[in-house]
Structure formats: structure tokens, C-alpha cells
Structure 1
């Protein structure tokens, strides 16, 4: 249990509206030249667009150097470190921070040096390096105290952050020492954001100590201030910690209420990370009371939202094979030179060996490249893989019309408890391998599997007009395969009933992951498709009204009426019964037709 907030030295939050107005003034040149550095500093601190912020920071650094403005130069290096830390580039961030520290030491400004050490500690905090985090926070506190005039706000923030670090390693007594030092400072400065975070963290510390009444009291006080500030992220987390308190008391009903309240607030405010965590907490609670069905559904929602949290712009570049080759080639040349100096007589033999080895090396490079290309195509669509290889990144794209299908095995949880792991994995692989072949036939794109759920889409990455028809054809083939599998001789696999749900609409698609790439899609269309599946029935294909409008002239459909859908309200749904007019579908798709 725990919730930790790292607060940067300069701001509790960036102000994009301020940055927008200043950027407009800056572009027009409608300002006095003496204000240039000040405007650049504000833009560097407040712009929320990564590329723009880096651009203004670099410009601030260059102008500061030209004008020997060390205080602004310090600010530029510090902000660059902050941006790089947020982007995950710890080594480059520390390089910028150390330049800022050198400037602060040179101009003998202890408050600036203390702020720099606070930022360095924050970078180590993000890297989960406890020893260095504590070292630099304590060093910052010591430096602040040595300043001629104490920078009270940053001194308070540093104490708050050090307390956070002790909370993270479950040392609440140490944490409280620093929270109680920062609390009166935030109050005297009338800094409501700092006071709210401080109160909340004191509450968490008492929760870790098992003093639940005090914990709730402090967190309730924090929630009041956060609501006034419209800062909902910490409120969601405090509610989950309160749920943990009541789980510890054995009061699962109250715990569930707090977790539901967190989920509703996170959903209302679009906080995906908190939606994921609230779903996980509810899954845990329902599992504790023996409600495995609801527990499993909340866990699926947790996974779905957890997978959508990744930042689409944080994709790392793939390893450059040519660079590796050049390094190896250079090393071969060095080795050859050493051999020549040692023994000229074996030069010819060495050249022959190098020639052969180079040939083998090129052959291996070609072989490995083909292998990596094949592996990449197994993970990503061909068009997306090509973009990734060319530029090292993939831009997220919006598609106006895509059909999304979810399949799910009914009563899978019950089966999974009865089967051995080997049989369970073999069974899922048996079905999903066939699903892969089916959707490939209809040129659909597999997105991912989550447990026993299978997700695919039509109409991307290459848009088409017939994706709704094709995905229903694929759904019928999947349905028929699952049914037919029951009649086969014993293959030492489990047999399931399958539910299928389909929805059509706009989505955003892109690649997520740093070490393992994954092509994924996001948007309300995906959420509704998942609801179509969960509201379907065994052996049936359930579609939304959006999909029905695209396929009604090709398939016989049975209107189910309006059904109450979780978090969506009443929605029209249809069961697809079978093809209506084979010739129309053949003309539309040019593919084979599957009869149900």
C-alpha cells in the first residue's frame, strides 16, 4: 500500500495556457529584447509539448551563454534535466543537472544548488535508486539551510519529497519526520497544493503504521483541498488506500465502496492509470469475498486500461545493425594491423581469413536481418513495421472507421481451475492458432490476447470499405471452428463455448513498448466492442448498431432491443444469424462466404 508524489523544484504543474499566450507573443516578436530571457525561461518551464519545450530550453541556454546570464543558464540546464528525466533519459538528465550544479557553485548560490540537488534526487527517485535519492535530498536540505536567505518553498518541497522516498520503502516513521518539517512551511506560505500533498502523505504514513483513524482523518483533509484545486489524481489514490484500510479490517463492503468511488471519479476525469488501479483493487476485493466472476471481469478491465496507459511517443529506436557492423569491421582492421606488425609473413593468410570471415559476417548479417524482419512482421503490421525500421518510431494514427472484434470463452475461469496448466495452455493455443489463420484469410489485424480474450480489427492499418463484412465472416468461421472442435477425437484439449462481440467506429492506433513492441488501438470504439462481447451469449455473434448499419443488407440480424451496458447506458444490440445474400457479399469482398 502506498502512493508517492514527486514534486519538481519549479512547479507543481505546468501551465500550458500561459505557455500558449507567451509563445504567440514570442513568435510575433512583440516584446522588449530585455524580456527575451525571461519569456524563454517561462516557456521552458511551462510548455507541455516535449519537442517545443526542448526547443525553448536550448534557445534559453544559447542566449544565456551569449549574455553571460548565469542565473538563466542555470535555469536552462535544470529544466533540460527535468524534461529528460520525465522522458526516461536518466544519464542525459544527470549530465544537464551537473552542469546546473557547477553554475550554482560558481556563482555561490546555495538556494540554486539545493534546488539542483533536489532535481538530481528526483531523477534517482524515478530510477528507484533509494540510496542516491536519500543522499541528494539530504544534501539539498543541508545546502538550503546554509543559504543566506532560506528558499522556504523549495526547502519544504524537498522535505516532502524525501518523506515520499521513505514511504516508498515502507519506513513511515522516517517519512513523518520530514512531513512534519514541511507541513508548517506550506501553511505559512499558503501553498494549498503543497499542503494537500503533505496532509495526504502524512495519512499514508499513518496507514502504513496501522493507525487507520488518523490516516483517514489526514487523507480526508487532503481530499477537501484537492477537490477545491480540481486535482483529482491523488483523490483517486487516497480512496484506494482507504479501501486497503477496510480490507485490513475485514470490512469488504466499505472497501468496495471506496474502490468504486475511485473508479467512478477516475472514469469521469479520464484518468486511465487510476481506472486500471481501481479495477485491480475491485478485482482483489471480489476475489476475497469469493465472487470470482466479477473479480475476473474487473481484472480484465484492469489489464485493458493498464495496456492503454503507455505513452505513444516514448518508443525507443531499434538497434541499428549497420552501426554494429561498422564497429565490428573497425575492430577487424585494428586486429589486422596488429598482426601485420607482429608477423608480416602471415599477411596473405590473414587477408584470406578476413575475406572469408567478412563474407560470413555479411551472410550472418543478412540472415539476422531477415530473421528480425520476420519477427517484426509477426508483431506489427507490415506498413507499421516498415515505418519503424525507416524512422525508428511510429506516429500514432487515427482511423475513422474500423471494426473491432472480441472473443471470449464462456466459463473459462471455472475450466482453468479444473485443468492442469499444460492442458490449459495447449487448449488456448489450439484455438488461438486457428483464429490467427482465419483472420489472416480475411486480411484482418490481430491486436492482442488477454487471457482467454482474443482481439482483432478490420480496416487498419490499410483502410477498406468492407471491413465490417469481413470481420463478421471471420467471426462465423471462428464460431464454426469452435463448434466443430467438439466433434473431433480427444486431442487432450478443453472444449469451450465462445461469445463474440463486434463494434465499428473511429480508433487511434500506434505502437507501445520499449523492449517489447506491441501494435494496439484505443478509443471508445474498442470499449464498446468489449461490451458487445460481454453482453453476447454462447455461440452467438453480438454486434452494435454502428456495425449493423454497415452489414444489414448482407446478413440476417435479430434485434435484441436496448440493453443496459456498464458505464455506457442503454445500447441497441443485434445477433447476426447468417448471410442474407451470397452474391452481394461475394461481389463486395471477393472472398469465400461462410454459412452459419
Structure 2
């Protein structure tokens, strides 16, 4: 009777394989789970092992490494259980054969006294063979268990390494707190931050160079600058948001609110500006050099993750739009800040009032240039 359920369970696994090849992951998982439930209900250990393995493969394909690892562990447990049961049965058969052999020798001794010596020799020979054969089986079993243990250990190491690599890649895309929330809940709730400082940069004449430089040379030059910008962001504990063409966007005061985000952003902006200026006279790497405009604004933003496959951490709000306008209205080699940012940093930095300047789609706004570090 159980053989019928075994066939049904195996049939469900085959259906799961078909949907998996069609990239219909939810149906594939559904039929694999049905196969597992049927095997567990009727105690089909071997089929339980097969179903767990299939679910592990499907969840690995779906990117859920935690569930994949869970089902893989269950697969190993049941597979070892089936293997151990067979080994015990083999040992029991050997023991039974040995006992039968002993009884047969005793019966033969009672029937024919004259064959006692012959039977003793035969029994000793059989005993040696049985012991040798049993020892051989035990050695094979021990070797098999050792290789299985080693395989499981190596597999765990590989899974851990892949998990670490996945976590590292995720942290390169999202802030640590946001990445943890995404892994735990499968999604990220948008959050409002009341006080954040946003910075935009833009290279002068980039469009002109983009039309005349080979693509690989252009990308190499941009990477030269953006790699340094990334290092500066990390130095001051600021968050890189994204790059669009030659524009670099970052923010301070998120995902963890801080009181000194504006000051840190000004220090980072000064260091970026200094690096770009020094690069104009340094042609050691034969890179194309640019001049830069920098704009900064402070205020509330909404932050969250967009996308379901290629995740991207982004921020929205008028604060972001005004920061972009600060960059547009800046000058080459200068750091242009809004009145909001000026109010936060005026006690610690020397600034130059520019007056009220017309801003596209916003109106007239007060702007300030931040002086170089030497002028503080």
C-alpha cells in the first residue's frame, strides 16, 4: 500500500521539476511541498529526503538561502537515517547467518562424532571469513560516514561563504540597517528623516568630453573621481545614494539620525573639492581631468528601497530637489549651500553670502559659498 504513496510522492516531485524548468517557481515549490507532506504522513523516509533536497534546490534558485539551508539539512538527516537503517539491517543479516552457521555445526557434531575435527576447522574458517567480512563492511561504513561528514562540513562552509558574499554585495547596495530589514521582512518600510543634509556634485564640460572620448576612457576617468568620493563618504560616515552620469549624490543623517550631519557633509565637500583641484595638476595617470560644482541643502527627506529585483536605496523630497538646484547654481571649484544648511554650520565655518538668486521652479533663495579650510 505504501508503495502506491511512494509513487505518488515521486510523481509530485517530477511535476515540481517540470514547473521548475518552466521557471514557474511558486508552482514548483507547491508540488515539492505536497510531495514532502505525503512522504512524511506515510513514513517514506527515502522520499522525505528526496523532497527536502528538491525544496532546497528550489529555494536556492529563488534566492532564499535560509530556507534552502533548512531543507538541505532535513535532506541530509533523512538520507543518513535511511543509510544507517540499511547498514543495521546488513549487520543483523550477518549476525543471523553467523548464528545459523554455529547451530548447523552443533547439529553436525551430534550426528557425526567422526567429523568433529573437520567441522571445527570449517567453523573456524567460517568465523574468520565472517569476522573479516564484517570488519571490511565496518571499515567501508566508517569510510562512508567520514566522507559524508566531510562533505556536509565542506557544504556548510560553502553555504556560509556564499551567504557572506551575498551579505557583502547587499551592503554595497543598501545601508546595513536597511539590508537587515530587507533580509528579515522581505521588504523595507519607507522612513521619514526630519533633518538630513544632501550633497550633489557635477563635472564641468562632461557632456563635451562624453562626445569626444572613447567610452572606456570616459568611464575610467569617472571611476578615478568617484572611487575617491566613496572613500571620503566612508571617512565621514556619510551615505552614498547613487550616481547618475557624472552626478554624485550622497546624504548625511541617515539611516541613523545624527546631529552633526551638516558639518560632516561640509568637511567631506571641502575634501572632495580639494581632491578635484589637486587632480587638475596631477596627470600621472593620464586621466581626463574635470572641474567640479558642489551643491548642498539640509532638511527633511523620505528614504526607502525601490525595485523588486535590483534593489536601490533612494531619498525623495523638496530637500533633495533644492540640493540639486544648489549644485546647478554653484560655480566651478566652489561649494554652494542653502540657507537651511548655513543655519546649521555658520558657527563652525566661514561662509560668503551670495544674496538671493532665482531658482528654477522654486523662486528666489538665499545662497552661500563655503570658504576653503584655510579661511576658517
- TM-score of the superposition, structure 1-length normalised? 0.43
Following superposition, the deviation at residue 340 of structure 1 comes to: 6.9
1:482 equivalent in alignment to 2:279: no
Following superposition, the deviation at residue 341 of structure 1 comes to: 5.3
Following superposition, the deviation at residue 502 of structure 1 comes to: 0.3
Q: Which runs of 5+ in 1 are unaligned?
A: 1-88, 93-317, 580-593
1:563 equivalent in alignment to 2:307: no
The DSSP-based 3-state class of the residue aligned with 2:371 is strand
Which residue among 383, 391, 396 is the counterpart of 2:177? Answer: 383
Which residue among 133, 139, 147 is the counterpart of 1:353? Answer: 147
Contact preservation (8 Å) 1:340, 1:347: no
Contact preservation (8 Å) 2:326, 2:336: yes
Tell me, in whole angstroms, the C-alpha distance in 2 between the residues paired with 1:361 and 1:452: 43
1:447 equivalent in alignment to 2:248: no
Contact preservation (8 Å) 1:339, 1:347: no
1:494 equivalent in alignment to 2:288: yes
User: Aligned Cα RMSD in Å?
Assistant: 2.6
Tell me, in whole angstroms, the C-alpha distance in 1 between the residues paired with 2:66 and 2:176: 21
Following superposition, the deviation at residue 576 of structure 1 comes to: 1.0
Which residue among 362, 368, 371 is the counterpart of 1:577? Answer: 371
Tell me, in whole angstroms, the C-alpha distance in 2 between the residues paired with 1:414 and 1:90: 48
Tell me, in whole angstroms, the C-alpha distance in 1 between the residues paired with 2:334 and 2:352: 11
Contact preservation (8 Å) 1:557, 1:578: no
1:320 equivalent in alignment to 2:97: no
Q: Equivalent residue for 1:138?
A: none
Following superposition, the deviation at residue 445 of structure 1 comes to: 0.6
Which residue among 517, 538, 552 is the counterpart of 2:311? Answer: 517
Following superposition, the deviation at residue 446 of structure 1 comes to: 0.5
1:508 equivalent in alignment to 2:323: no
- Equivalent residues in 2 for 1:134-533, closer than 5 Å: 319-333=63-77, 336=80, 337=82, 345=137, 346-533=140-327
Following superposition, the deviation at residue 350 of structure 1 comes to: 2.5
The DSSP-based 3-state class of the residue aligned with 1:555 is coil
Following superposition, the deviation at residue 402 of structure 1 comes to: 0.3
Q: What is the number of equivalent residue pairs in this alignment?
A: 270
Q: Deviations over 1:464-489 (max 9, x none)?
A: 11111110110010001011012223
**More strand, by proportion:** 2
1:554 equivalent in alignment to 2:298: no
Q: Equivalent residue for 2:328?
A: 534
Change beyond 3 A, Cα 1:595–1:482: farther
Q: Deviations over 1:219-266 (max 9, x none)?
A: xxxxxxxxxxxxxxxxxxxxxxxxxxxxxxxxxxxxxxxxxxxxxxxx
Following superposition, the deviation at residue 389 of structure 1 comes to: 2.4
Structure possessing the higher radius of gyration over alpha carbons: 2
Tell me, in whole angstroms, the C-alpha distance in 2 between the residues paired with 1:401 and 1:330: 49
Tell me, in whole angstroms, the C-alpha distance in 2 between the residues paired with 1:403 and 1:489: 33
- TM-score of the superposition, structure 2-length normalised? 0.66
Following superposition, the deviation at residue 331 of structure 1 comes to: 3.7
Tell me, in whole angstroms, the C-alpha distance in 2 between the residues paired with 1:353 and 1:90: 33
Tell me, in whole angstroms, the C-alpha distance in 2 between the residues paired with 1:450 and 1:462: 24
Tell me, in whole angstroms, the C-alpha distance in 1 between the residues paired with 2:168 and 2:375: 34
Q: Which runs of 5+ in 2 are unaligned?
A: 1-23, 28-61, 91-136
Question: Bigger relative contact order, structure 1 or 2, given CA contacts below 8 A and separation 6+?
Answer: 2
Tell me, in whole angstroms, the C-alpha distance in 1 between the residues paired with 2:186 and 2:266: 35
Following superposition, the deviation at residue 379 of structure 1 comes to: 1.4
Following superposition, the deviation at residue 578 of structure 1 comes to: 3.2
Following superposition, the deviation at residue 370 of structure 1 comes to: 1.8
Contact preservation (8 Å) 2:230, 2:240: yes
Following superposition, the deviation at residue 378 of structure 1 comes to: 1.5
Contact preservation (8 Å) 2:357, 2:367: yes
